């Protein structure tokens, strides 16, 4: 068995941008054919290197990309939109030819790149299973053997004989992934299409990819969901502008990627009430992160954190509920809280009471030694008595909790999890010997 499943060496892909070429008649084609040998000779004598070939009408989707993936590895590909992730997978799937470089694949490849790729809209789900399986290299006997498992995994038993043009995008994805995953490929290439499926199906797909890798097969996983990449992949590759920025341990790569794209901001304010976020009932004035009495985006782990929301109440007698949600750097929810009596350790004298017109400040206190050392973003909102949002903003402010060493003197390394509270522990002797 080869020690390498995927080898990518100096891979580059150049695209020409701008308007389409004008219509060409038969005489133009014949003329081109006549002069082609001379043009090829001229190009061979004057060909520029790959690095110097771009101009204002071209763009490098990939440029000198090199990496290797071992059999059984699950490798995540991350990066912003337009970084070259999908182009890379299309080249690996033999859909697109590279401009330069080389790709070596050792094993049968299963690809799931775009919703409905290889599906004919007029054919039924059953017929498309055989069509798509054939495109992916499956024999009819293989499809017959896996038929029940594919249908069950895709959860489309009732619609298997319905034309797929009537399928929702989620049904498309379920069937396409089920076919690709059950063809037993040595290499499985998966693009962002899993974002179309519902949460439970995404969990099922991630579990299936884990099963594929544990069976000694290889998975290359492109996703913007950094939580899924971190949970599934031991190694990651960060692409930006068609080039590799960082490759290695997933945690280090994801942290570097997030650090490059996130800037903390401990305060935001709207001095003009008329243009501030909100409506005719309430408008936001400011949102702040406070620690030790000052506005900050850098908080020590052993200090309490205050998140303050100031707002104009514009309607006499309105009832308002203030709430916050914290997310980690992968945009996973960490916690949610609000000033309702059932969720409040203290007493908010204005909760469930009609507010007078004026400016109000609502504050949520997060205790010290609760959040782990991590980056956090804050979503805030003000709702009415019917639980309808009057105003809500995601990622309005952010902050970083920093380690002080107070809880690590007897413990080496970073604590796992998104929270790190101090609980009460005790030991007693039950019997003396």
Tokens 């507010």 found at: 355
What pLDDT, on a 0 to 100 scale, did the predictor assign at position 53? 47
Residue 337 lies in a domain: yes
User: Are residues 97 and 231 both part of a single domain?
Assistant: yes
CATH number, domain with residue 395: 2.70.50.60
User: Are residues 240 and 368 both part of a single domain?
Assistant: no
User: Are residues 103 and 248 both part of a single domain?
Assistant: yes
Residue 101 lies in a domain: yes
User: Are residues 200 and 324 both part of a single domain?
Assistant: no
What's phi and psi for 355, nearest 5 deg? Answer: -90, 140
What pLDDT, on a 0 to 100 scale, did the predictor assign at position 66? 93
User: Are residues 72 and 215 both part of a single domain?
Assistant: yes
User: Are residues 285 and 221 both part of a single domain?
Assistant: no
**315 burial via Cβ count (<10 Å: 0-12, 13-18, 19+):** middle
Mean pLDDT (10-residue bins), the chain, 433 residues? 83 77 58 61 49 63 91 87 86 87 84 66 85 76 85 85 82 78 78 61 73 78 77 87 90 77 79 91 94 88 91 93 89 89 86 91 92 90 89 91 67 68 69 77
**Do the Cβ atoms of 312 and 366 come closer than 8 Å?**
no
What's phi and psi for 35, nearest 5 deg? Answer: -95, 0
User: Are residues 333 and 395 both part of a single domain?
Assistant: yes
What pLDDT, on a 0 to 100 scale, did the predictor assign at position 380? 94
What pLDDT, on a 0 to 100 scale, did the predictor assign at position 57? 74
CATH number, domain with residue 137: 3.40.50.300
What pLDDT, on a 0 to 100 scale, did the predictor assign at position 282? 94
User: Are residues 201 and 314 both part of a single domain?
Assistant: no
Residue 416 lies in a domain: no
What pLDDT, on a 0 to 100 scale, did the predictor assign at position 54? 46
User: Are residues 72 and 145 both part of a single domain?
Assistant: yes
Three-state secondary structure call for residue 116:
coil
Find the helix or strand (DSSP H, E) in which 37 lies. helix 26-46
Residue 424 lies in a domain: no
Boundaries of domain holding 96: 6-25+49-261
What pLDDT, on a 0 to 100 scale, did the predictor assign at position 414? 62
User: Are residues 284 and 246 both part of a single domain?
Assistant: no
Give 3-state DSSP helix, strand, coil % of the chain, rounded to 5. Answer: 30, 30, 40
Contacts of range 405-409, beta carbons closer than 8 Å, 24 or more positions apart: 406/301, 406/302, 406/369, 407/301, 407/302, 407/369
User: Are residues 236 and 310 both part of a single domain?
Assistant: no
Residue 36 lies in a domain: no
User: Are residues 76 and 184 both part of a single domain?
Assistant: yes
For the question of whether the overall pTM of this predicted structure is more than 0.85, the answer is no
Strands of the 298-300 sheet, one edge to the other: 298-300, 389-402, 375-383, 321-327, 333-338
Residue 99 lies in a domain: yes
The structural domain count of the chain equals: 2
| Separation between Cα atoms, residue 243 and residue 122, nearest integer Å | 40
């Amino acid at each position: 068995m080869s020690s390498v499943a995927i080898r990518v060496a100096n891979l580059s892909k150049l695209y020409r941008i701008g308007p389409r070429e004008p219509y060409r008649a038969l005489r133009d084609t014949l003329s081109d054919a006549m002069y082609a040998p001379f043009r090829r000779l001229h190009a061979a004598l004057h060909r520029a290197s790959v690095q110097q070939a771009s101009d204002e009408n071209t763009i490098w989707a990939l440029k000198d990309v090199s990496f290797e993936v071992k059999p059984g590895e699950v490798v995540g590909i991350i990066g912003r939109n337009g970084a070259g992730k999908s182009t890379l997978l299309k080249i690996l799937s033999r859909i697109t030819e590279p401009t330069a470089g080389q790709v070596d694949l050792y094993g049968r490849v299963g690809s799931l790149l775009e919703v409905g790729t290889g599906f004919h809209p007029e054919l039924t789900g059953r017929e498309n299973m055989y069509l798509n399986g054939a495109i992916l290299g499956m024999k009819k006997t293989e499809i017959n053997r896996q038929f029940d498992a594919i249908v069950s995994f895709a959860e489309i038993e009732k619609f298997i004989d319905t034309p797929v043009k009537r399928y929702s995008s989620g049904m498309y994805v379920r069937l396409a992934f089920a076919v690709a995953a059950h063809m037993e490929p040595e290499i499985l290439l998966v693009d962002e299409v899993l974002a179309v499926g519902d949460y439970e199906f995404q969990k099922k797909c991630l579990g299936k990819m884990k099963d594929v890798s544990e069976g000694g097969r290889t998975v290359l996983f492109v996703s913007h969901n950094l939580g899924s990449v971190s949970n599934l992949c031991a190694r990651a590759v960060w692409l930006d502008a068609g080039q590799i920025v960082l490759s290695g341990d997933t945690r280090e790569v994801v942290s570097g990627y997030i650090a490059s794209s996130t800037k903390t901001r401990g305060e935001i304010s709207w001095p003009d009430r008329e243009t501030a976020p909100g409506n005719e009932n309430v408008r936001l004035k400011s949102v702040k992160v406070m620690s030790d009495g000052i506005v900050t985006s850098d908080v020590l782990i052993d200090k309490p954190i205050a998140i303050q929301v100031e707002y104009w109440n514009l309607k006499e007698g309105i009832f308002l509920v203030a709430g916050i949600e914290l997310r980690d750097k992968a945009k996973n929810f960490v916690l949610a809280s609000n000033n309702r009596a059932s969720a409040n350790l203290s007493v908010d004298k204005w909760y469930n009471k009609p507010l007078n017109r004026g400016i109000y400040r609502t504050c949520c206190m997060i205790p010290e030694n609760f959040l782990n050392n991590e980056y956090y973003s804050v979503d805030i909102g003000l709702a009415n008595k019917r639980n309808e949002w009057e105003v809500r903003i995601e990622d309005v402010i952010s902050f970083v909790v920093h380690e002080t060493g107070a809880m690590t003197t007897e413990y080496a390394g970073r604590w796992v999890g998104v929270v790190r509270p101090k609980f009460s522990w005790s030991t007693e002797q039950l019997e003396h010997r």
